[in-house]
Amino acid sequence: MVRNGIVRFVSVWLLAACGVVHQGSAVAAESAAPAVRVGVTRGVHAQILDEVKRVAAARGLGVDVVEFDDASRIDAALADGRIDAASFEDAQQLAATRARKRYALTEVAPTVTLPMALYSRKLKNLNELQPGATVAIPADPRGMARALVLLQNDTLVTLREQAGLHATLRDVTGNRLGLKFVALRRDRLYAALDTAAFVAIDSDDAARVGLQPARDSVSLEDARSPYANVLTVRNADRAKPWVAQLVAAYHSDDVARFILTRYQDSVRRPW
């Protein structure tokens, strides 16, 4: 009787111990899950992802920030599995790459807007703009369309509705001040500040010449612009739990404060 009781006790203890070991192994396996590899370009996107990484780690999600010198390589790295997510381009750029390369990639959340802005050495604000003034905008199709959309939002021009995000100067149907447009290569836009009433310059080109959109512009693209950057994953991964965790970390109050404190609205938050 005593011997049988001991056997039963030992058996129960062993089963319980096995359960503890199994549970501990599961926890260990979960904590040892591979970190999510997020591809970014150097600079703003990498700096923000470092803060996202800190927030995500506190919530149990590991993140590795993978910096690329060449942005054109990031979507390819995501498509072939070398990274798990990407944060470096806007939805329009992603759509163009998908169409061209047939990558099975999808955006899952907005990240930040790097705003195009209007800069001037002659105006303190757009209310000072005189009829017939000459203004400079980018000559490349994407830059021109983005600048014209910004001018329409500032009620300076009206665009043909069907033009959408592919507007050209031929799509201008209203120009209440009779502005004269000069389309220039991006590398010539900064010099045009000496002669034009204002110049439309995107965030990357502005940064290269020391301009800060929030500090130096007379008009700034809205944070919820169609050119807001996006977080991208493979189609097959979009419903995985880590994607929602990564988005939640990016859209956290800590990251919002970091963006505002670090960039003073020259990098804008569309969420």
The tens place of each residue's pLDDT in the chain, 271 residues long, gives: 434 443 443 344 334 444 444 444 444 444 557 999 999 999 999 999 999 999 999 999 999 999 999 999 999 999 999 999 999 999 999 999 999 999 999 999 999 999 999 999 999 999 999 999 999 999 999 999 999 999 999 999 999 999 999 999 999 999 999 999 999 999 999 999 999 999 999 999 999 999 999 999 999 999 999 999 999 999 999 999 999 999 999 999 999 999 999 999 999 999 9
Q: Do domains 34-114+226-263 and 117-220 have the same CATH topology?
A: yes
CATH superfamily of 34-114+226-263: Periplasmic binding protein-like II (3.40.190.10)
CATH superfamily of 117-220: Periplasmic binding protein-like II (3.40.190.10)
Q: pTM for the complete prediction?
A: 0.85
User: CA-CA distances (angstroms) from residue 27 to 30, 47, 60, 92, 250?
Assistant: 5, 31, 12, 41, 25
| 171 backbone dihedrals φ, ψ, rounded to 5° | -90, 0
The domain locations on the chain are: 34-114+226-263, 117-220
